[in-house]
Amino acid sequence: MTVGLKLTPLSIVGYSNMKIKIKREEFTEYEVDLENVTLLEVLNEIKTTQDPTLSFSSGCRSSVCGSCSVRVNEREVLACSYHPKDGDVIEPLRNSPILRDLVVDMDKAYDFNAKAKAWQSSLSKDVALTPEDEKMNEIQSDCILCSACYSACPVYAVNEEFLGPFSLTRVWRYVSDKREIDSKDKIDVIQTNGVWDCTLCNECTVVCPQDISSKADIEKLRARSSMAGYMDPSFANFGGGFGSFDGSPSF
């Protein structure tokens, strides 16, 4: 019955159990007897053997569907690619309403893709793309919409309507695509609650499991905006940009 499963001789090596805290209505501590596993495997173990009421989302187990992002010790991770250790504190993502335990409602976050018009506006056939053209947005199109960047973004503390890191990366993914002939709509729409609202704090880049830098994409979109005749409204209004919220360097 246990083909493919190797029993870990925990008691023999005297392996101590791992305790983790999970934020539910209150912080709840769980103890598991596992070694060399992902956080997702730990959550599954808890749910299937200890507490079936624990709620979390998961899908592919292989870091590509974006379902299982949570915060561990105040840092966004995919549960399926994080190896937990004793004392870890697990919380749901920020900036989205908590539905239950580690599950948040992503509808509003996802809606920003539509608000930012993150799609190809001009459907064109037979546009020749070289490997260099394709490289322009190869990394950006690796996005799995896990929402880690959205959770890590400090702008939502002051502006709930900020289009946000993943949507703006998605806009750049299409704006930079040679097949997109008409990107004006997208450049227009990202002027409000968009590229200029970002503090360039780089938190999004740090937490991205796919090594995407939304901050860098936003800077590229700012340059495109300037080329289209737009300017940073904070320069216009205040005569100078404001610093980032968390004091981290802007560049």
Partner 1 sequence: MQCDVLIVGAGGSGLVAAINAHESGAKVIVLTKEYPTRSQTCMAQGGINAALGNAGEDSVESHIANTLKSAHGLADESSVEFLCSNAPKALEWLDSIGVPFSRTDDAKIAQRKLGGASSSRACYAQDYTGLKILHTLYDRCLALGIEILSERYLLECITNTTDSNLDVSGVSVLNKRSGEVEIYSAKSVILATGGYSRVYNTHSTNSVSTTGDGIATAYRAGASVSDMEFVQFHPTAMKNSAILISESARGAGGYLLNSKGERFTNELAPRDEVARAIDDEILKGEDVFLDIRHLGEEFIDEELPQERKLARLYENVDPVYELIPIKPVAHYTMGGIEVDKNSQTSIKGLFAVGECSNHKVHGANRLGGNSLLELVVFGKQAGENAASYSKNKSQHISVDSSTCSLVDDAMSNDTLINFYEKQKELGELFYLYVGVKRDKSTLEEVKGKLLDIKKDVAKMGVEDKSKIYNTNLIEFLEFKNILEISELILLGAINRDESRGAHYRVDDMQEDDSRFKAHTVINSGVLKYED
In the bound complex, what is the minimum distance in angstroms from residue 151's beta carbon to partner 1?
15
Whole-number minimum distance, CB 145 to partner 1, in Å? 5
Give 21 or 100: the residue with its C-beta nearer to partner 1.
Answer: 100
In terms of CB distance, is 94 or 170 closer to partner 1? 170
The footprint of partner 1 (CB under 8 A) covers 1-4, 47-49, 52-53, 55-67, 81, 99-101, 103, 105-107, 110, 113-114, 117-121, 123-125, 128-131, 133-134, 137-138, 141-145, 170, 173-174, 177, 179-180
Q: How far is the CB of 244 from partner 1 (least distance, A)?
A: 29
* Least distance in angstroms from the C-beta of 101 to partner 1: 8
Q: ∠ at Cα 211 (221, 96), nearest 5°?
A: 75
- In the complex with partner 1, which residue's Cβ is closer, 58 or 244? 58
Compute the least distance from the CB of residue 233 to partner 1, in Å: 27
Go through the chain and tell me how many residues it has.
Answer: 251
How far apart are CB 245 and partner 1 at their closest, in Å?
A: 29
Does residue 155 contact residue 95 with C-beta atoms inside 8 Å? no
Q: How far apart are CA 57 and CA 223, in angstroms?
A: 38
In the complex with partner 1, the residue whose CB is nearer, 88 or 154, is: 88
- What residues contact 128, with CB distance under 8 A and at least 6 apart? none
Question: Is the Cβ of residue 28 or residue 58 nearer to partner 1 in the bound state?
Answer: 58
CB of 49 to partner 1, least distance (A): 7
**Closer CB to partner 1, residue 69 or residue 193?**
69
Nearer to partner 1, 114 or 157 (CB): 114
Residue pair 32/45 in contact by the 8 Å Cβ criterion: yes
Neighbours of 195 (CB within 10 A): 24
